[in-house]
Structure 1
Amino acid sequence: MNLKNEKTAIILAGLLIGVISALLVVFGNPANMGFCIACFIRDTAGALGLHQAAAVQYIRPEIIGLVIGSCVIALVTKEFIPRGGSSPMTRFALGFFVMIGCLMFLGCPYRMVLRIAGGDMNAVIGLIGFIAGILVGVFFLNRGFTLKRTYSLPKIESAIFPTAQIVLLILLITAPVFILFTAVDGGPGAKHAAILVSLGAGLIVGILAQRTRLCMVGGIRDVILFREWKLFFGFVAILVAAFITNLITGHFSLGFIDQPIAITDGLWNFLGMLTVGFGCVLLGGCPLRQLILAGEGNTDSVITILGLFAGAAIAHNFAMASSSKGPTFNGKIGVIIGIIVILIIAVANTKKEKLA
């Protein structure tokens, strides 16, 4: 595919993804949360009993669909490549603190775009922090940051995570007593589109994201590093399509106050997303991209996702996640620690002579 056709494909995929994301709200998902990788991982973690926040416990079919969609199309196109072994514990730690940043801001980079498309100006502050974090990460990339090479693995190793998604789907449909579904009326976990609608949306977005390599972090990173705009165009296309769809469906409300599932504290919106941008650059992709890579057989991304799950569990078990009331003291401490830890990881994995 030549560069022009590739850009066109990314823009078209972004437009479709933006429409799908906005329509999921119409079909029942929480406002400005047609898709949110961080929030949906948190909800799934709650359903599995990893945290006890009753308002956010639901196995999200969108996550299942993203992984399965990516896996199926990767198998069809022979792009399913079992690989891994690149600094697993470091990736786990980065995933953990990326989730802490997401739950401070109340959303992943994907939801940040959807919040802006819904008129939430708090998310614009988050975007500025996100870009700042990416700039810091690029500083280290330019000086030789690396998490070392990956290795070829047996196919069974990379098949476990996609298979686990099928198990989660069965648990969602059968709803056994040991799976926790939100008991709080009106809580985010109680708001969801029908299973088939959510699963179908996830499958479509998973396929499109796999074919186009769509990544929220990658779009901005590539502009800074290489002056390459194609992934950024996908970023913008999602924003434009979701914005227009929100206007048509009456789900647009411009302002800072009374935005759904958001905090108005500018400093912590900024720092939360700075943490996310910084961590994701070092990881090589945003949470959405990690799910897509996991579907392609990359177990390094699976380790990152497990870190995201652990971060979600700890954030809610230790009162670190923000709410509509604002950030918590524990959450602020968690973000500060996260920035320090990510900085230490960046320095420790960068060639010393280039830092001097």
Structure 2
Amino acid sequence: MSLQNEKFTIILAGIIIGIIASLLVFFGNPANMGFCIACFLRDTAGGLGLHSAAPVQYIRPEIIGLILGSFIVALSKNEFNAKGGSSPLTRFILGFFVMIGCLMFLGCPFRMILRIAGGDLNALFGLVGFIVGISAGVFFLNRGYTLKRTYKLPRLEGFVLPVIEVALLVLLIAAPAFIHFSTADNAPGAKHAAIAISLGAGLIVGILAQRTRLCMVGGIRDMILFRENKLLLGFIAILISAFVCNLILTSVTAGTYFNFGFAGQPIAHTDGLWNFLGMFLAGFGCVLLGGCPLRQLVLSGEGNTDSAITVIGLIIGAAFAHNFGLASSGDGPTLNGKIAVIIGIIVITVIAFVNTMQAKKQ
């Protein structure tokens, strides 16, 4: 496929994903949260009882669909490849702190784009921090940073996470007593589209993201390193299509899908500094991981156990954030959260420095 055809395919995929994200809000998901990998992993952690924050407990079918969609298409295209062993514990730690950064900002890179498409100007501080964080990661990439090679693993290893996702879907539908569900009307976890709609949306996005290699971090990283805008075009397409869809929904329904400004934004705070630093941490960590949270889910569906370990790190990070008061709220960041973000920036900088120095010695 030529570069022009690849760009057309990525833009088309982005348009479809942006529309899906806006429609998920129409069908019941929280405002400006048609898709948010960080938020949905946090909700899933709560649904499994890994944290006790009652407003954010629900096993999100979108996450299940993303992984299974990638898994199904990777199998069908002979791209499923069980591999891993590239500094798994380091990847776990990076995933943990990426989640801390996301929950400081109140969203992953995907939701950051959707918040901007919904008129939330606070997300612009996050976008700037995200770009600066990616630039910090590129600084180390240019000096040889690496987490070493991966190794081919038994095929069964790659099936583990997709099988777990099927089990989670069964638990969501069966709703046994040990699975938690948010019940308060204003709780984010209680706002969700029907299971079939959410699962179908996740499957479509998972398939499209697997075929196009969509990655917000990769798009900005490649633009900085190579002046290549291919991946970035996909997220620009998501932004534009979600923006247009939000305006249409606002004009034809009684709902508010677009609210331009800083104040009164859904599930967001107005502290620009910590929006910046939260996404700086997320961007920095994602470059060192090799992809954003969306990309990690897609890779885990393809059999990459390093990405699966990263996903587990994200989930544990979400549980830790809510168990220890690190996550922000509409009222702003917490003191514990600020301390955790600073610690995260220090830890990730040390990881980047040490792995760069080790690479130079070899």
Is the 2:67–2:165 contact (alpha carbons within 8 Å) kept by the matching residues of 1? yes
Residue type of the alignment partner of 1:266: G
Q: How does 1:157-196 map to 2 (within 5 A)?
A: 157-196=157-196
Per-residue deviation, 1:235: 1.0
Per-residue deviation, 1:184: 2.5
SS of residue paired to 2:356: coil
Alignment match, 1:318: 324
Alignment match, 1:44: 44
SS of residue paired to 1:351: helix
Alignment match, 2:312: 306
TM-score (norm 1): 0.99
- CA–CA distance in 2 between the matches of 1:347 and 1:184? 45
Alignment match, 1:332: 338
Alignment match, 1:81: 81
Alignment match, 2:30: 30
Alignment match, 1:261: 267
Alignment match, 1:351: 357
Asked if 1:285 corresponds to 2:284, the answer is no
Q: How does 1:217-228 map to 2 (within 5 A)?
A: 217-228=217-228
Structure 2, gaps ≥5 residues long = 251-256
Q: How does 1:55-94 map to 2 (within 5 A)?
A: 55-94=55-94
Per-residue deviation, 1:186: 1.3
- CA–CA distance in 2 between the matches of 1:352 and 1:167? 40
Structure 1, gaps ≥5 residues long = none
Per-residue deviation, 1:185: 2.5
Identity of aligned residues (%): 71
- CA–CA distance in 2 between the matches of 1:349 and 1:81? 26
SS of residue paired to 2:28: coil
Is the 2:144–2:359 contact (alpha carbons within 8 Å) kept by the matching residues of 1? no
- CA–CA distance in 2 between the matches of 1:95 and 1:349? 16
Per-residue deviation, 1:353: 8.7
Alignment match, 2:253: none
Alignment match, 2:245: 245
- CA–CA distance in 2 between the matches of 1:127 and 1:194? 31
SS of residue paired to 1:350: helix
- CA–CA distance in 1 between the matches of 2:153 and 2:2? 31
Q: What count of residue pairs does the alignment treat as equivalent?
A: 355
Deviations 1:296-341 (A, max 9, x none): 0000000000000110000000000000011000000000000000
- CA–CA distance in 2 between the matches of 1:158 and 1:185? 39
Asked if 1:271 corresponds to 2:271, the answer is no
Alignment match, 2:254: none
Residue type of the alignment partner of 2:91: R
Residue type of the alignment partner of 2:40: F
Deviations 1:85-126 (A, max 9, x none): 000000000000000000000000000000000000000110
Is the 2:129–2:277 contact (alpha carbons within 8 Å) kept by the matching residues of 1? yes
Deviations 1:270-304 (A, max 9, x none): 00000000000000000000000000000000000
Residue type of the alignment partner of 2:177: V
Residue type of the alignment partner of 2:147: L
- CA–CA distance in 2 between the matches of 1:195 and 1:47? 14
Deviations 1:220-272 (A, max 9, x none): 00000111110010010000000000000011110000000001000000000
Per-residue deviation, 1:183: 2.9
Deviations 1:12-33 (A, max 9, x none): 0000000000110000000000
Is the 2:281–2:344 contact (alpha carbons within 8 Å) kept by the matching residues of 1? yes
Deviations 1:116-156 (A, max 9, x none): 00000000110000000000000000000000000000011
Deviations 1:169-195 (A, max 9, x none): 000000000001113221000000000
- CA–CA distance in 2 between the matches of 1:183 and 1:118? 26
SS of residue paired to 1:144: coil
- CA–CA distance in 1 between the matches of 2:144 and 2:299? 23
Is the 2:95–2:310 contact (alpha carbons within 8 Å) kept by the matching residues of 1? yes
Per-residue deviation, 1:354: 6.3
- CA–CA distance in 2 between the matches of 1:25 and 1:209? 20
Alignment match, 1:126: 126
Q: Could you say what the CA RMSD is over the residues aligned between the two structures, in angstroms?
A: 1.0
Alignment match, 1:206: 206
